[in-house]
Amino acid sequence: MVDRQDAQQGSLINEGDLLTTLSDNKVMWVYFNVPEARYLEYRETPDFDKTMVLELVLANHKKFGETGKIGAIETNFYNKTGNNSFRGDFSNPQNILRHGQTGTIRIPIHLKDALVIPQRATYNILDRRYVYAIEDNVVKQREITVAEELEDVFVVSKGLSKDDKFVLEGVRQVRDGDKIAYEFKKPEEVLTTLKNRAE
């Protein structure tokens, strides 16, 4: 790709004057920061830097059509933030990506037998997250541990089991110990109609 011309035909130029800039955009380098804890998780996967697939979400919230791979990892962590800089290499056959663009890197991970709940079924008290579990038509406040946060759901590692029922709608209208009547919705039905994030 050719940038704008800094000198037009007939201009007087000196040795070393810049005429224009040429860029090879066939492969674009995308830099992103990874927290130390997440980096250590990745390291547990053999050859993670060769096998990990990267997705790029552009500024218009649409996913870029090509997947990327890790091209380089900086040798040192930045102490003030605890982050390490990664470089993702993305093929750019349609020249959509340009220097200076912004976006979001997503790294898909596969979770087996994961327990997921809608974010809107949860609430925070200080730095802890809770749900209202239903036991014999009585709501019980229960703390949960979130392992992963996806767009509209949380992956729960502790605090709920697959057989538990919990309040999905009206979380702000009930209190611990309230007796309620409820309508049960199947998980498949709930997951196909997710729209709202947690409050």
Confirm whether 164 is domain-assigned.
Answer: yes
21-25, 44-48, 100-104, 194-198: range with lowest mean pLDDT: 194-198
Read off the pLDDT of residues 66-117 as tens digits, 9 standing for 90 and up: 999 999 999 888 888 889 999 999 999 998 998 889 999 988 877 788 899 9
88 and 120 in a single domain? The answer is: no
Could you report how far apart the first and last alpha carbons of the chain are, in Å?
A: 46
The last residue of a domain, from among 42, 74, 106: 106
pLDDT exceeds 70 at position 145:
yes
Does a structural domain hold residue 22?
A: no
- Domain hosting 75: range is 27-106
Please answer whether residues 49 and 31 qualify as being in contact, where contact means their C-beta atoms are separated by less than 8 angstroms: no
| pLDDT confidence bin for 195, thresholds 50/70/90 | low
Each residue of 32-71: pLDDT tens digit? 999 988 888 888 877 888 888 999 999 999 999 999 999 9
Helix (H) or strand (E) holding 42: helix 36-43
My answer on whether 101 and 45 are in the same domain is: yes
Q: What's the structural domain count of the chain? A: 2
| Whether residues 101 and 125 fall in one domain | no
Domain boundary among 89, 106, 123: 106
Ramachandran area for residue 100 (φ above 0: left; ψ -120 to 50: alpha; else beta): left
Residue ending a domain, among 50, 72, 106, is: 106
What does the alpha-carbon distance between residue 3 and residue 99 come to, in Å, rounded to a whole number? Answer: 11
Note the pTM of the prediction, 2 decimals. Answer: 0.60
**Cβ contact 54:71 at 8 Å:** no
Per-residue model confidence (pLDDT) at position 198: 40
Residues 100 and 143 in one domain: no
142 and 85 in one domain? Answer: no
**Residue 133: pLDDT above 70?**
yes
Does one domain contain both 138 and 95?
Answer: no
In a domain, 20, yes or no: no
Which CATH number fits the domain that encloses residue 154?
2.40.420.20
pLDDT tens string 173-182: 999 999 999 8
